Amino acid sequence: MIRILLADNQAIFRSGMARVLSSQSDMIVLGQCGAPDELLSLIAPARNAILLLAASLDADIDRTFAAASANGVRIILLHDNGNEPEAIIVRKMDGLLSRHVSTDDLLHCVRRVFNGERAVKAPVAEADDSAGRRIRDALTTRELQIVGFIVQGWKNRQIAEEIGTKEQVVKNYLRSIYDKTGASDRLELALFTLHHRPLAEAAAKAVTPTSALSV
């Protein structure tokens, strides 16, 4: 069984990645953190795990690497396209991936690192994500908020309670979202969102407490 730790300051990506990884029969997510001061305590009890570490977490790389090495934890660094880490950092890592990499590439990288390989995928120029922007612009603010909750694994009942409506209303929103995105179920919607940065960022913003909502 591949034991995985997730460290990412962006909750929507962390939750979505946890859902994807947990859906695999050979993987288990042991723990997560969203702040650099939680990282060492996350690593300490998780011997021989794989740490998916977001560069945006701004962790102390030297301390993190030392703690990971002492505990047999291998590190895959996730970065945003256009913001690639320095070569001196990359050389310390067992794997390197864009945060917006495909699900297949993510799973392949995790399995390679688990098998003792080094999986550093060369950075590529970020494509013009017109599809992500088009879907983002087609969704209402309320629909974007619901997408954000779906990525985080919320059930319809939880969403209904959070936004002060009935489950049937949430189901109606989801039908509209599925029509606009082409997704057929919740997991497909979550994966689609994570693969399209403009949509993922808008959904993350929509679930913040200060978001102004409209239908």
Mean pLDDT of 193-204: 87
DSSP secondary structure string, the chain? -EEEEEE-S-HHHHHHHHHHHHTSTTEEEEEEESSGGGHHHHHTT-TT-EEEEEGGG---HHHHHHHHHHTT-EEEEEE-TT-PPPHHHHTT-SEEEETT--HHHHHHHHHHHHTT--EEPPP-PPP--HHHHHHHHHS-HHHHHHHHHHHTT--HHHHHHHHTS-HHHHHHHHHHHHHHH---SHHHHHHHHHH-HHHHHHHHHHTSTT-----
**pLDDT for 107-118, tens place per residue?**
999 999 999 999
**pLDDT for 117-155, tens place per residue?**
999 865 544 456 788 899 999 999 999 999 999 988 899
Residue 85 has pLDDT above 80, yes or no: no
pLDDT at residue number 210 = 41
Least confident of 93-97, 104-108, 122-126, 184-188: 122-126
**pLDDT for 39-51, tens place per residue?**
999 999 999 999 9
Question: Confidence band (pLDDT; 50, 70, 90) for 21?
Answer: very high
CATH fold label, 2-120: Rossmann fold (3.40.50)
Percent above pLDDT 70 for the chain: 91
For the ranges 9-18, 42-51, 79-88, 182-191, the maximum mean pLDDT occurs at: 42-51
Question: Confidence band (pLDDT; 50, 70, 90) for 211?
Answer: very low
pLDDT at residue number 212 = 40
The CATH number of the domain covering residues in 130-206: 1.10.10.10
Question: Confidence band (pLDDT; 50, 70, 90) for 98?
Answer: confident
pLDDT at residue number 125 = 43
Question: Domain locations in the chain?
Answer: 2-120, 130-206
pTM over 0.85? The answer is no
